[in-house]
Amino acid sequence: MVDNQKKAQIEEELLENSGYDVSRDELVKLFISENMRKKEGEEINKSLAQLQLLGFGPEILRKLNTDQNRGIEGTTADIDARKRVFGENKRHQRKIRTVCSMIGEVFEDFILRVLCVAAVVSTTLGIIKDGWAHGFQEGAGICIAIVIIVLVTVINDYAKEKQFQDLMAKSDVLSTKVRRNGDWT
């Protein structure tokens, strides 16, 4: 709670010194994902409410110090100031799952947990009944099955994760036309 208050205070001070009449958080509220869902026939219009609050197109352009026909100023200082206030204009990168997290997810499966308990019980009972020489064999077989299941699942998930990251990299827009000080660049 304290961190959120401190963050809000820093953002407010940054906005006051920036020359813009709208904050990054106010702009982000225009794109609320809940706005695209319906709850039992009733549409949620949080983005529209935020748009009304900000004053629609021309007013938002004024608050962003942007001209409808000329675009932004586009100088290095202007772009740096916009980056400082509103952040980088780049796609959010999804965090890649680590191999350890994938292994942890595999062990969330109830059947695999049952197999682990069966391996421990089987090994313990086998050692008590038949001694070390032959008692661990059944439990070891179950453990080998568990290792195979985990390896196959993690390798498969890792391959899917890698394919997803490659697909996201290919789908990124590499270039776009923007208006800077009246010129298309």
The model's pLDDT over 47-56, given as tens digits with 9 standing for 90+, comes to 677 777 777 7
What's the pLDDT score for residue 106?
92
Q: Who has greater pLDDT, 141 or 33? A: 141
Contacts of 68 (CB under 8 A, 6+ apart): 57, 58, 61
Nearest CA to 65 among 53, 79, 47, 44? 79
Q: Does 136 have pLDDT greater than 80? A: yes
Confidence label for 147 from pLDDT (cuts 50, 70 and 90): very high
- Among 3-7, 13-17, 70-74, name the one with the lowest average pLDDT: 13-17
- Among 8-22, 75-89, 160-174, name the one with the lowest average pLDDT: 8-22
Q: Does 72 have pLDDT greater than 90? A: no
Domain ranges, ordered by start, for the chain: 2-89, 99-171
Helices marked H in the chain: 2-16, 24-28, 46-54, 56-63, 76-86, 99-106, 110-130, 132-135, 137-171
What's the pLDDT score for residue 149?
94
Q: Who has greater pLDDT, 119 or 173? A: 119
Contacts of 47 (CB under 8 A, 6+ apart): 29, 30, 31, 32, 35
What's the pLDDT score for residue 113?
93
Nearest CA to 27 among 7, 2, 6, 55? 55
Which secondary structure element, helix H or strand E, spans residue 179, and what is its range?
strand 179-180
Confirm if 73 and 27 have CB atoms less than 8 A apart: no
Q: Does 131 have pLDDT greater than 70? A: yes
Q: Which residue type, as a one-letter code, is found at position 105?
A: E
Q: Which two tokens stand for residue 25?
A: 């958080």
Confidence label for 45 from pLDDT (cuts 50, 70 and 90): low
- Residue 38, beta-bridge partner list: 43
Q: Does 40 have pLDDT greater than 70? A: no
Which is it for strands 183-184 and 179-180: parallel, antiparallel or unpaired? antiparallel
Confirm if 150 and 103 have CB atoms less than 8 A apart: yes
pTM of the model: 0.53
